[in-house]
């Protein structure tokens, strides 16, 4: 059985970047090196085939090979979450089993936007199909394509989190809505923050852990913010939150290019984004470096 942290351990996971060679193909040797380096950190898990890994720039075969490499390299105190983004429960299940066979311990499934006037399906039925048949636990993420949109109702989210085999729920950045729905969630399902800049407010409404790209850089800082809030050490939590705001803002606005450049600054082998995404220029890199100094990362 894979290592699965409990709520009180404050799980921190991150969307893992994919290094590429000069020929623009996944660099599996660099992936191994990076995982070995992350094995020495407090990062709990690797989210593979997600935005941070450039999911829409990877083939299915590449995603599966990446999962195999990470599974063979990670320590027994880490776990793999495979990202799935489809509105078809049939395809989601097919992918889930392929990823599980490759070594994934859980799947992270986006809540799809389903037009009820054009479909006989709904989000609850979508997740019930997946949770009933998936051989590995399911993580639900609310990440609408349009910022501040909503892909389901509070009652639907309640039904989903009360299904069997649902491990955690990753909230969106629509904080007004996420604050409202907390009373609807199954208390047994973990609540995870989604963003470094939102760690403090997410903790204030009950976050048990987090899934965010900033955790690639500094999982300890992410966990400390949540733990300080749980321990009612609000000033300490706020101090850390303020220190990481600049770096997280650059990351959220510059995306994968900033994520990879930041990891390069920290000694990881993440190279540059896959074409056609550009890497950071010298000025942007210097801004990121200054934000790292402010956060105490370098």
Domain coordinates of the chain in residue numbers? 7-232
pTM, two decimal places:
0.94
CATH no. of 7-232: 3.20.20.70
Region of 49 please: left (phi>0), alpha (psi -120 to 50) or beta.
Answer: left
The DSSP H or E segment spanning 16 is: none
168 neighbors 190 (Cβ within 8 angstroms): yes
Whether omega for the bond prior to residue 144 falls within 30 degrees of 0, making it cis, is no
The half-sphere exposure of 237 on its side-chain side, counting CA atoms within 13 A, is: 21
Closest among 179, 297, 277, 197 to 241, alpha carbons compared: 197
Interval 226-246: pLDDT, tens: 999 999 999 999 999 999 999
Interval 81-98: pLDDT, tens: 999 999 999 999 999 999
Q: What is the pLDDT along the chain (298 residues), one digit of tens a residue?
A: 566 777 778 999 999 999 999 999 999 999 999 999 999 999 999 999 887 667 788 999 999 999 999 999 999 889 999 999 999 999 999 999 999 999 999 999 999 998 776 777 899 999 999 999 999 999 999 999 887 899 999 999 999 999 999 999 999 999 999 999 999 999 999 999 999 999 999 999 999 999 999 999 999 999 999 999 999 999 999 999 999 999 999 999 999 999 999 999 999 998 899 999 999 999 999 999 999 999 999 9
Read off the tokens for 276.
Answer: 């056609």
Q: Angle at which helices 234-254 and 256-265 pack, to 10 degrees?
A: 120
pLDDT at 24: 93
CA triplet 250, 253, 254: central angle to 5 degrees? 75
């Amino acid at each position: 059985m894979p290592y699965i942290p409990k709520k009180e351990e404050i799980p921190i996971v991150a969307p893992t970047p994919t290094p590429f060679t000069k020929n623009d193909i996944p660099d599996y040797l660099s992936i191994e090196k990076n995982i070995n380096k992350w094995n020495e950190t407090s990062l709990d898990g690797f989210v593979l085939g997600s935005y941070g890994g450039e999911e829409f720039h990877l083939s299915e075969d590449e995603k599966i090979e990446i999962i195999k490499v990470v599974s063979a390299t990670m320590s027994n105190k880490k776990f793999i979450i495979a990202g799935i983004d489809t509105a078809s429960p049939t395809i989601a299940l097919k992918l889930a089993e392929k990823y599980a066979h490759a070594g994934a311990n859980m799947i992270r499934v986006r809540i799809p936007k389903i037009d009820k006037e054009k479909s006989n399906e709904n989000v609850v039925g979508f997740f019930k199909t997946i949770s009933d048949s998936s051989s590995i636990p399911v993580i639900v993420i609310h990440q609408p394509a349009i910022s501040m949109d909503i892909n389901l109702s509070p009652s639907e989210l309640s039904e989903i989190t009360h299904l069997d085999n649902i491990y955690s729920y990753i909230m969106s950045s629509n904080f007004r809505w996420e604050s409202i729905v907390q009373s609807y969630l199954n208390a047994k399902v973990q609540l995870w923050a989604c963003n470094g800049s939102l760690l403090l407010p997410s903790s204030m409404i009950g976050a048990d852990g987090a899934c965010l790209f900033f955790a690639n850089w500094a999982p300890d800082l992410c966990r400390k913010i949540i733990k300080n809030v749980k321990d009612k050490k609000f000033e300490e939590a706020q101090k850390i939150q303020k220190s990481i705001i600049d770096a997280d803002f650059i990351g959220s606005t510059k995306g994968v290019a900033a994520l990879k450049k930041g990891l390069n600054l920290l000694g990881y082998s993440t190279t540059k984004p896959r074409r056609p995404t550009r890497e950071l220029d010298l000025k942007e890199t210097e801004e990121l470096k200054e934000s790292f100094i402010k956060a105490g990362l370098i």
